[in-house]
Chain A
Amino acid sequence: MNTNASEIVRVDNVRKVYSDNGVPVDALRGINMTVLPGDFSVIAGPSGSGKTTLLNLIGTLDKPTEGAVYIDGEDVASKTRRQLADIRLRKIGFVFQAYNLNPVLSALENVEFTMMLRGIDAAERKRKSLALLEELGIGELANKRPNEMSGGQQQRVAIARAISNDPRLVLADEPTANLDSDTAVKLLELMEKLNHEDRITFVFSSHDPQVIGRAHRLLILKDGQIVDDKVNV
């Protein structure tokens, strides 16, 4: 399968079947999509439509039952666990619904963590992490642990962590689901800013109208299939 050189992600006729107590369940049925640099895409759909499953496949956290997922033209199915971890480290940033920061690390250390995994030296990663926290408006929280921060603050740290390694793509799984409306709006504005100014590519899974309303591209999933794909919504 040839992929366009500019494509970050290409999902090619992907099917994902789960076993639910021995009963096969089709979570995704023949998905085709691409993610291009600078995208601000939202995968929307009701609960159980397969949004998170698709995001996990794009994020190389899971492998398709059929079809293929290409990251920068490379088929992830052929990669070992170690290679997949390396792809995630270098090319993909994750933002989770429940923030999922490491509770024993400060905000600064959480951002530094992924850079440490890449082998960036301590001084450089501290400098960059502080700069990122400042940019995201939480510089004063650098030494706070997650349990000392609000949900919105934690999610900002999670975004800083996700972009700290200059990834090709940030995957955000229901990033506003645990936040109040005002905080969610501020967070989305922040991500839009990162998309506009720093050309960071975002793919969301969400059914939050506030997220959907800001999408440049909207893919509607239903029963494991893309039923609508709107660009420049």
Chain B
Amino acid sequence: MLARIAWRNILRNKRRSLILIMSIVVGVVALVLTEGFAVGMLQQMLTNQIGTDAGYIQIHKRGYQSDPTLENSMTDPGPVHEVLEKVGGVLNYSERLRVYGLISSAYNSYGVSIVGIVPNEESRITTISRYITKGTYLSGKPGQILIGASMAEKLRVGLGDKVVIMASQRDGSIGSEACRIEGIFETLNSGFDQSHVYIPIQTARQMLNAGGLVSEFVINPKDPHEMNEVVSQIRRSIEALPGASNRYEVLTYEQMLPLLVAQLELYKQALYLIAVLIAFALIFGIIDTMLMSVMERTQEFGISMAVGMSHGRIFKMVMTEALFLAIIGTATGLAASYIITSQLSHSGWDLSTFSASLKSLGIGSVIYPVVQTSSVIQTVLIIPIATLLGAVYPALKAVRLQPVEAIRAS
């Protein structure tokens, strides 16, 4: 019966209840969307980094991750090829020869990461071939180069122009190669575009006088969720190679991009703070409205006390009202969030106005929200708790009423 009274008390002032429910709905939508867009943005940042360059898994000669030099590259990659052909969970893989060097035009020179790739294999591993905005992707012919749009601008070069790349060989001498610009790419990360150039791996080996040298194998698993299982399989197979003990390091993207992963974790922690702030804003809104509702019913509370209603029951009744409002508001808010996010997960949120800033972070100008189950659970917990916390003060106010004075209230 107490629940029935609480429910009818909600219905008796529909406008106020609606305002209160709307404030809860706004809180839920704000929480879900803030988290959805933040998580979506962070995942895009990570996915772009994985898709553009890192891949999910890499194999290096041990020590390359901490000191990525030619000396730490693999001189005999054949056994690794054999392993990767056999491991079932591997979707695609490709080898690369990566070296830090210089790219020069007639106007300027800049330091870059020169990545020697097997073009057709690389196009199955990373998305760089899809970001060509001018010219074409590498065909594998010697002397081709892909450079980023921002680098082309800085070097003041265009398609078909010649640039010279140079880097230290293993013996310390300088190797160089004149390359013709085959294509210009523009990824979602302007920093990446300024710091990476791609050439066929044979051209890289020729420039570095490096024979069959390989710096890294980049591997994508069939199912990214099974990445750790695939890594274990690769490690076991590599360790089983004759004389391979401890010669290679098999790394996940989390190990290769520790700074980015840490940054993502940091953002996720910051989201908790945002959730707490939203909850606080909601608490004060609830206090205000519930207090008004309680004060308007002062006489009723007085009469209820006079006929023997205990303070505990009065407290429970006000809290039950808040609980009903919380349930309705949270359910409506989740439904509204679902409609908004399902729409935006297709069309995305176009933030072209901030595209320069977003590109510097490695995010596209369109953000697609990602609503995780954990964020829904968090919302379902935080919002009703905030609503109930907001109702505690008004409920205590009702409990503290003196019957005689409350009955006299008009």
Binding site for B on A (CB under 8 A): 56, 59, 61-62, 81-82, 85-86, 88-90, 93-94, 96, 100, 102-105, 109, 112-114, 116-118, 122, 161-162, 165
Docked CA distance A86–B299 (Å): 20
A96 touches which of B8, B12, B308, B407 (Cβ 8 Å): B407
A61 touches which of B12, B304, B404 (Cβ 8 Å): B404
Docked CA distance A96–B408 (Å): 11
Docked CA distance A190–B343 (Å): 67
Residues of A near B404 (CB, < 8 A) are: 56, 61-62
Closest residue of B by beta carbon distance from A118: B308
Name the distance in Å between B107's Cβ and chain A's nearest Cβ.
82
Q: Contact between B8 and A104 (Cβ–Cβ < 8 Å)?
A: yes
Given known A-B contacts A62-B404, A85-B311, A112-B1, A102 and B306 have beta carbons under 8 A apart: no
Docked CA distance A91–B110 (Å): 94
Q: Contact between A82 and B1 (Cβ–Cβ < 8 Å)?
A: no
In this complex, how many residues of chain B approach chain A with their Cβ under 8 Å: the count is 24
Name the distance in Å between B224's Cβ and chain A's nearest Cβ.
56
Given known A-B contacts A88-B306, A94-B306, A82 and B5 have beta carbons under 8 A apart: no
B308 touches which of A85, A105, A112 (Cβ 8 Å): A85
Closest residue of B by beta carbon distance from A173: B407
Docked CA distance A89–B312 (Å): 14
Q: Contact between A161 and B307 (Cβ–Cβ < 8 Å)?
A: yes
Q: Contact between A102 and B1 (Cβ–Cβ < 8 Å)?
A: no
Name the distance in Å between B394's Cβ and chain A's nearest Cβ.
18
B306 touches which of A59, A82, A90 (Cβ 8 Å): A59
Docked CA distance A61–B404 (Å): 6
Q: Contact between A113 and B306 (Cβ–Cβ < 8 Å)?
A: no
A-B CB contacts (within 8 Å), total count:
70
Q: Contact between A117 and B5 (Cβ–Cβ < 8 Å)?
A: no
Residues of B near A161 (CB, < 8 A) are: 307
Given known A-B contacts A61-B403, A82-B311, A112-B1, A102 and B305 have beta carbons under 8 A apart: no
Q: Contact between A103 and B12 (Cβ–Cβ < 8 Å)?
A: yes
Q: Contact between A61 and B311 (Cβ–Cβ < 8 Å)?
A: no
A117 touches which of B4, B12, B299, B309 (Cβ 8 Å): B309
Docked CA distance A93–B11 (Å): 29
Closest residue of B by beta carbon distance from A63: B404
Name the distance in Å between A161's Cβ and chain B's nearest Cβ.
7
Docked CA distance A62–B405 (Å): 10
Chain B residues 283 to 314 lying within 8 A of chain A, measured CB to CB, are 299-300, 303-313
Name the distance in Å between B271's Cβ and chain A's nearest Cβ.
41
Residues of B near A109 (CB, < 8 A) are: 1, 4
**Is there a chain A Cβ closer than 8 Å to B43's Cβ?**
no
Name the distance in Å between A158's Cβ and chain B's nearest Cβ.
10
Docked CA distance A88–B312 (Å): 15
Closest residue of B by beta carbon distance from A90: B308
**Is there a chain A Cβ closer than 8 Å to B9's Cβ?**
yes
